[in-house]
């Protein structure tokens, strides 16, 4: 096959549409018309002689990292599209690193940091860190992606993001510790345990239990396994607001990290968990040595702030 000319603009258009799952949202993010993005991807597919993106339900759906939802211009990756996406993201990351390295030589702090997190950390930890970082480096853009623990790890590994919040242990990453987050028992203010300061996890095993599916579910189940108990799971809830609302109504008890607790604890009682259980959180990158100057600046700023 004859060599073809692939441009970074084509790869950027393709990667953005693949990541958000929509031509409409991609055009807004890139500041281009939908027709321009469509034309760019069509030329890329024509040159490669393969179909990278399809509309409809004929292929496996790409993970939509921005939770955009579907629209009439939604897209799906083909099998070859999945493989090309990883390579395209690697090439775009390399181009971004070239840009940032050369900018650093002439004294410009510029670039982009794609940061992944889960909602509890986004709400409680990131606002202060991001404010301080942007005060120090106003020329560096930070793009935030939110997902579950497993999604954030996957996004780091597939280069969708540059750095992400992970719970330890986390093999395969260079790690920068952030905070220790204690697990708490949460019951309704009307529950018989509500007036206590602490509760043993064995006591929670005998009550109707509401399990979080937001990412900590496997960790919580492992806590019960350590004391040789099986929780009586009545509900499995992905949205933490719904989970706490159900606990308020005394429909069950739960265990959650302290960072995930709502600001307003009306109707809830938070108890210390026995034995004490803590999750260690850290920022993870694939390789600190190969990180862009913008990512290194972000991690240095985190160390200073913490």
Q: Does residue 260 share a domain with residue 185?
A: yes
69-84: pLDDT as tens digits: 344 457 889 999 999 9
Inside any domain, residue 184: yes
Nearest to 271 by CA among 192, 179, 195: 195
CA distance 179 to 298: 16
- Asked if 254 and 221 count as a contact pair (C-beta separation under 8 A), the reply is no
Inside any domain, residue 248: yes
Inside any domain, residue 221: yes
- Number of domains observed in the structure of the chain: 2
Question: What CATH number does residue 185 fall under?
Answer: 3.40.190.290
Q: Does residue 152 share a domain with residue 44?
A: no
247-290: pLDDT as tens digits: 999 999 999 999 999 989 999 999 999 999 999 999 999 998 88
Task: Summarize the confidence of residues 57-64 as an average pLDDT.
Answer: 39
pLDDT for 230: 94
Q: Does residue 185 share a domain with residue 37?
A: no
Q: Does residue 151 share a domain with residue 288?
A: yes
Inside any domain, residue 136: yes
- Asked if 150 and 122 count as a contact pair (C-beta separation under 8 A), the reply is no
Inside any domain, residue 1: no
Domain ranges, residue 196:
109-306
Q: Does residue 229 share a domain with residue 187?
A: yes
Single out the residue in 88, 119, 134 at which a domain terminates. Answer: 88
Single out the residue in 28, 55, 88 at which a domain terminates. Answer: 88
- Asked if 90 and 157 count as a contact pair (C-beta separation under 8 A), the reply is no
Q: Does residue 34 share a domain with residue 114?
A: no
Q: Does residue 211 share a domain with residue 76?
A: no
pLDDT for 60: 37
What dihedral do alpha carbons 245, 65, 159, 78 form, nearest 10°? 140
- Asked if 276 and 226 count as a contact pair (C-beta separation under 8 A), the reply is no
Q: Give the global pTM.
A: 0.65
Q: Does residue 40 share a domain with residue 164?
A: no
pLDDT for 268: 97
Q: Does residue 132 share a domain with residue 28?
A: no
159-206: pLDDT as tens digits: 889 999 999 989 999 999 999 999 999 999 999 999 999 999 999 999
pLDDT for 65: 39
Q: Does residue 235 share a domain with residue 114?
A: yes
pLDDT for 176: 94
Inside any domain, residue 95: no
Q: Does residue 121 share a domain with residue 26?
A: no
Inside any domain, residue 241: yes
């Amino acid at each position: 096959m004859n060599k073809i000319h692939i441009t970074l603009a084509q790869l950027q258009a393709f990667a953005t549409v693949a990541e958000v799952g929509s031509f409409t949202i991609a055009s807004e993010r890139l500041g281009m018309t939908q027709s321009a993005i469509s034309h760019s991807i069509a030329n890329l597919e024509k040159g490669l002689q393969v179909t990278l993106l399809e509309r409809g339900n004929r292929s496996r759906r790409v993970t939509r990292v921005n939770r955009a939802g579907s629209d009439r211009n939604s897209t799906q990756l083909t099998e070859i599209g999945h493989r090309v996406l990883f390579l395209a993201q690697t090439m775009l990351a390399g181009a971004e690193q070239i840009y940032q390295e050369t900018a650093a030589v002439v004294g410009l702090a510029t670039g982009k940091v794609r940061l992944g997190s889960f909602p509890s950390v986004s709400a409680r930890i990131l606002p202060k860190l991001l404010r301080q970082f942007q005060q120090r480096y106003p020329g560096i853009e930070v793009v935030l992606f939110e997902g579950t623990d497993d999604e954030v790890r996957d996004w780091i590994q597939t280069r969708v993001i540059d750095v992400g919040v992970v719970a330890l242990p986390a093999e395969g990453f260079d790690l920068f510790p952030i905070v220790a987050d204690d697990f708490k028992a949460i019951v309704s203010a009307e529950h018989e345990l509500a007036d206590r300061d602490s509760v043993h996890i064995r006591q929670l095993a005998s009550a109707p239990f509401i399990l979080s599916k937001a990412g900590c579910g496997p960790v919580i189940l492992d806590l019960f396994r350590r004391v040789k108990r099986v929780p009586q799971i009545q509900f499995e809830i992905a949205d933490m607001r719904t989970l706490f609302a159900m606990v308020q109504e005394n429909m069950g008890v739960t265990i959650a990290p302290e960072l995930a607790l709502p600001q307003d604890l009306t109707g809830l009682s938070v108890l210390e968990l026995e034995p004490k259980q803590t999750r260690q959180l850290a920022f993870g990158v694939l390789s600190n040595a190969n990180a862009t100057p913008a990512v290194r600046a972000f991690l240095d700023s985190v160390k200073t702030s913490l």
